[in-house]
Structure 1
């Protein structure tokens, strides 16, 4: 099997990224891998689509640090191939990282992903589904029962009124963004720095304001879903609790959050089941739910992370399950010879 991992940039990858774990698992299972970035597509005059990928040398790596060094080293090969010869294009870029400095690159994965799917590659997550999820407004399409009460606005008056109606405070963040950037807890509409926070964050576009969930002090639960269902292996779920640093409201690992083991309760599984139908409909093969109490704060459909921490905590390599699922999809694609649409294959 040939797998192309689409990322924001080669230099931006790290040994602890989930993409690293996925790539290493693919290599360990005997597959060929490429790393591709937003500038690596070529649509030729004869309507063929090529990708220019970076290939790390060697076949197997015992440590992610070794794989990462090989990927970024001078010995990594640069190869060009027709996308029809690529079995799976795995879209693993974060559009928000390119939105400011390289806006042209933010949605290249979904754009060219559609063309790749039309030429026979399996593209996950489905590019049409990802196009629907280009910002946090996508989350509003899920059942109200699993969502915090939410306001989306650029009006400071609307936001102040919303804050006044929630005595435990609110969380305010950009509608487009990730990694815990510009996330603030606002306790009252009378806070002295509210106007300054509003001016700083609203410069990025619309704001999303949610009622604060007191259970967030204990962190959130990141739960992976694959093919619409909780990812598990040997009785263990692909999940962690992300505990915020002292004085922080953000539990993101990039924001100094700490990953600890977590027990997945029937209540959490019920939340996952509630969102499954839409994830299936939208072709979301691999997603991360961020859960606090009985609510989902976010659904990460672009670059859900945490597999490396789960390997350390549980000694389970969930990446192997993910690559195995892709192998099954390639078998199904070949058996049906193009009859099944990419969005269906993505979560089959």
Structure 2
């Protein structure tokens, strides 16, 4: 199997990224591994589509850290590859990282992913559905039962009315963005700063105002979902609790949050079950959901992280079933030719 990983930029990748972990496992299993960025696509005059791919030489590495060093080394070659020769394109970029400095690249994965699908490549997650998930409005399409009370607006009076409804205990964040950037918590102690919070977010677009879920004080639970079901190996779930840093409402790891082991209970499994039908309908092969209490706060459909940490804490390698699932899908493509569209094949 030839598998290509689409990322924002090779320079911004890190050893412990989930993408590195997955690419390492694919190579360990004997597959050809390529890295592709928004800069690398070429649509030719004859309508063929090729990519300037960074190709990792075959073999094995003792761990994903050693694999990453190889990826960054001169041993990797730059080759022009016809996308028809690629079996799987895994979209692992974060559009929010390019939205400001390289807006042309923000939706490149979706654009070229669609073209790859036309040429017989399995693309996960499904690019057509990802086009609807480029901002947090996608979150609003899940059942209200598992969503915190939320509004999206650019009018300060709407936010103020919402804050009053929730006794000045709300979260404010931008419609587009990731990693906890631009997130504020309004409370009775800082309610006089509400205007500044709104203005700060409005400079870049719409404001999401969300009720504050008290259970968030203990952090959120990141749970991986694959093929519509919680990812599990030997009875252990790919999950962790992300605790907030002191005096910081954000539980994102690179925003200062701390990862700790957690038990996945019936409450979290119920939330996962409620959102499962939509994830399947949308061809969302691998996602990360952030749960607080009995609510989801985020659904990361692009590049969910913390897979390495989940594996370390559980003592199980969660990259294995993910690559195995891709192997199975490629086999199905071979057996059934064009009987399944990309969105259906992505979650079989």
Q: For the Cα contact (< 8 Å) 2:228–2:285, is it kept in 1?
A: yes
**Aligned partners of 1:291 and 1:190: how far apart in 2?**
26
Residue of structure 2 in register with 1:43 after alignment: 43
- The residue correspondences of 1:93-132 to structure 2 (distance < 5 A) are 93-132=93-132
**Aligned partners of 2:108 and 2:58: how far apart in 1?**
29
SS of residue paired to 2:192: coil
Residue of structure 1 in register with 2:226 after alignment: 226
User: Which whole-Å deviations, capped at 9, do the CAs of 1:289-326 have from their partners, x for residues lacking one?
Assistant: 10000000010000101111012211111011100000
User: Which whole-Å deviations, capped at 9, do the CAs of 1:257-312 have from their partners, x for residues lacking one?
Assistant: 11111111111111101001111111000000100000000100001011110122
Q: Give the gaps of 5 or more residues in structure 2.
A: none
- The residue correspondences of 1:45-194 to structure 2 (distance < 5 A) are 45-167=45-167, 169-188=169-188, 191-194=191-194
Q: For the Cα contact (< 8 Å) 2:26–2:33, is it kept in 1?
A: yes
Q: For the Cα contact (< 8 Å) 2:27–2:58, is it kept in 1?
A: no
SS of residue paired to 1:39: helix
Q: CA deviation at 1:63?
A: 2.7
SS of residue paired to 1:80: strand
**Aligned partners of 2:197 and 2:10: how far apart in 1?**
33
Query: Under a length normalisation based on structure 2, what TM-score does the superposition of the two structures give?
Result: 0.98
Residue of structure 1 in register with 2:324 after alignment: 324
Q: CA deviation at 1:163?
A: 0.5
Question: What RMSD in Å do the two structures reach over aligned CA positions?
Answer: 1.2
**Aligned partners of 1:224 and 1:262: how far apart in 2?**
13
Residue of structure 2 in register with 1:23 after alignment: 23
Residue of structure 2 in register with 1:200 after alignment: 200
The count of corresponding residues between Structure 1 and Structure 2 is 348
Q: For the Cα contact (< 8 Å) 1:49–1:82, is it kept in 2?
A: yes
**Aligned partners of 1:237 and 1:187: how far apart in 2?**
34
Q: For the Cα contact (< 8 Å) 1:56–1:67, is it kept in 2?
A: no
Query: Under a length normalisation based on structure 1, what TM-score does the superposition of the two structures give?
Result: 0.98
**Aligned partners of 1:135 and 1:33: how far apart in 2?**
29
SS of residue paired to 1:290: strand
Q: CA deviation at 1:3?
A: 0.3
- The residue correspondences of 1:249-268 to structure 2 (distance < 5 A) are 249-268=249-268
Deviates more, 1:183-192 or 1:260-269: 183-192
Structure 1 residues 160 and 172: CA distance shift in structure 2, 3 A = same
Q: Give the gaps of 5 or more residues in structure 1.
A: none
Q: CA deviation at 1:192?
A: 2.7
Q: CA deviation at 1:193?
A: 2.2
Q: For the Cα contact (< 8 Å) 1:168–1:212, is it kept in 2?
A: no
Q: For the Cα contact (< 8 Å) 2:168–2:186, is it kept in 1?
A: no
User: Which whole-Å deviations, capped at 9, do the CAs of 1:164-185 have from their partners, x for residues lacking one?
Assistant: 1112600100000000101110
User: Which whole-Å deviations, capped at 9, do the CAs of 1:10-48 have from their partners, x for residues lacking one?
Assistant: 000001100011001101111011010001111111111
Q: For the Cα contact (< 8 Å) 1:8–1:93, is it kept in 2?
A: yes
**Aligned partners of 1:60 and 1:200: how far apart in 2?**
48
Q: For the Cα contact (< 8 Å) 2:30–2:58, is it kept in 1?
A: no
